[in-house]
A and B are shown apart, each in its own frame.
Chain A
Amino acid sequence: MIIDFSITQNNHTFSDALILADDHTFTDEEIEAIKQARFDNWYAIITAPTQELAPVDEV
């Protein structure tokens, strides 16, 4: 089972998918919490201070 979702906050939109077993036992509240946790983790990444970019391998 794949649950696509998007969350928008502060002009930042995050689109992701949860991949769950067809017989999963998560409640709706737990699924919403998972979605929010994924958004929060992503939001922390995109708002973290910039790091220097490493050299890129030649292709």
Chain B
Amino acid sequence: MANRYWVGGTATWDGTALLKWSTTSGGIGGSAVPTTSDTVFFDANSGAGTVTLGTTGACSTINFTGFTGTFAWGTNTITVAGSNTTIYTQTTSCTFTGTPVLNCTYSGSTNTRTLSCGSVTEANSPSFNISAGSDTLSIAASAGIKNLNFTGFSGILTNNTRTIYGNLTLVSGMTLNAGASTTTFGATSGTQTITSATKTIDFPITINGVGGTVQLVDALTLGSSRTLTLTNGTFNSNAKSVTVGAFSGNNANTKTFTITNSTFTVLSGTSTSGFLLNGSGTTYNVTGSNVVFTTSTAAQYWGGGGSTFPQITMSGTGQLIIGASGSTFTITTLSNTVQPCTVSIISTNTQLNVTNFNLSGTAGNLVTFNSSVAGTARTISKTSGTVNALYLNVQDNTASGGAKWYANSSNDLGNNTGWNIFNNSFLAVF
């Protein structure tokens, strides 16, 4: 292994050595073109000119620290064959043009390869193909990366903060370390994709690219304690299932939430977290979709004033607390698949409109439908038809609209208006 420092100024990295490469920083040129055995440096003594990648470059490791020039990738790539060290280093001082792609080809199983990309801009972020190896790959904190593709990799990816401006492609044979550090998708244009390949992503994901879209290729599953956050941009489930610990989209930013024909499962939550999507800049594209809560403790659904959600389903034995900002919100179908459970309306001055009220318990396993504040009634409205619910505990609820509201084999726990509650097995049919 030898060092290769670029001393060629404005020139092309190709198969001809000339005086472009030196064994020392700022040294005398004339060394051979680097191979996959060599450590390549573009540093402060490499000048501020433009280095054009005119061929497929090769190195063991490559380091752009201190380089103030422009590296013009064009459509060429660099093969990085090193292992057991920092194989890629980039700082914010240099400028990239073209399409930077590095193919990391180490195929062994020992130690750790590190990518140290720095907090580079979207324009300067490189793509990595981790095409082999069963070692550990560490990406230094706050890295900016374009595409990150693990096709061919069977090792471990450690958890750290990073921003991806392109696609994330996982493979089923790799291991994702769990952690609390967030991976942010930050592209400001075009569509980024996430391919999960059955992997449970046990770290938080944030979508925060003004003007960008993050779209799933296959089902997305986060760890049960991890949050998917939509800060800016568009999230598109692409009709695939989404499973998260919690979802957070409660902000005033411009964002679009598209989960057409998807099941969106919320595994955890608290009385103030679960599925929160609200804010003046929010666009709802939720046709045909169902948000399912599986909590056995408590979780919250919080929507925007005037928003409409096709279906909310309680599939856990805990408490689902639902509400929204503004004067009204609509859940087309409110249902449960598990008994007993509790569904509570939280909003102080907000009316919940439903088309289908499908909450029902079973004998001995009643569903409690109430207000999140005991003694303070909340309002539910249905414009027409008849609700024939079974096995409910109804409390602190005002049923309104043109519909007739019946709860049979149910208990009136007080402070209810508009309900016809029968504590027997009689099924009212009107």
Q: Which residues of A contact B (CB under 8 A)?
A: 2, 4, 10-19, 38, 41-42, 45-54, 56-57, 59
Contact = CB atoms under 8 A, between A and B. Distances in A.
A51 B217 contact: no
Interface of B: 180, 182, 195, 197-198, 200, 204, 206, 208, 217-219, 221, 224-227, 229, 231, 239-241, 243, 245-246, 248, 251, 261-263, 265, 267-270, 273, 290, 292, 294-297, 313, 315-316, 318, 337
Given A4-B239, A19-B218, A48 B263 contact: no
Contact of A50 (B182, B224, B227, B261): B224
Contact of A54 (B208, B226, B295): B226
Most buried by B among A4, A14, A56: A56
A48 B316 CA distance: 10
Contacts of B269: 53
B255 to A, nearest CB: 12
A56 B245 CA distance: 11
A49 B198 CA distance: 20
Most buried by A among B270, B290, B294, B316: B294
Contacts of A12: 263, 292, 315, 337
Nearest to B171: A19
Most buried by B among A16, A18, A49: A16
B267 A15 contact: no
Most buried by B among A47, A49, A53: A53
A3 to B, nearest CB: 10
Contacts of A10: 337
Given A51-B225, A57-B182, A14 B248 contact: no
B270 to A, nearest CB: 6
23 contacts: A11-B313, A11-B315, A13-B290, A16-B218, A38-B198, A42-B219, A42-B241, A45-B200, A45-B221, A46-B267, A48-B267, A50-B294, A50-B297, A51-B225, A52-B297, A53-B245, A53-B273, A56-B227, A56-B229, A56-B273, A57-B204, A59-B231, A59-B248
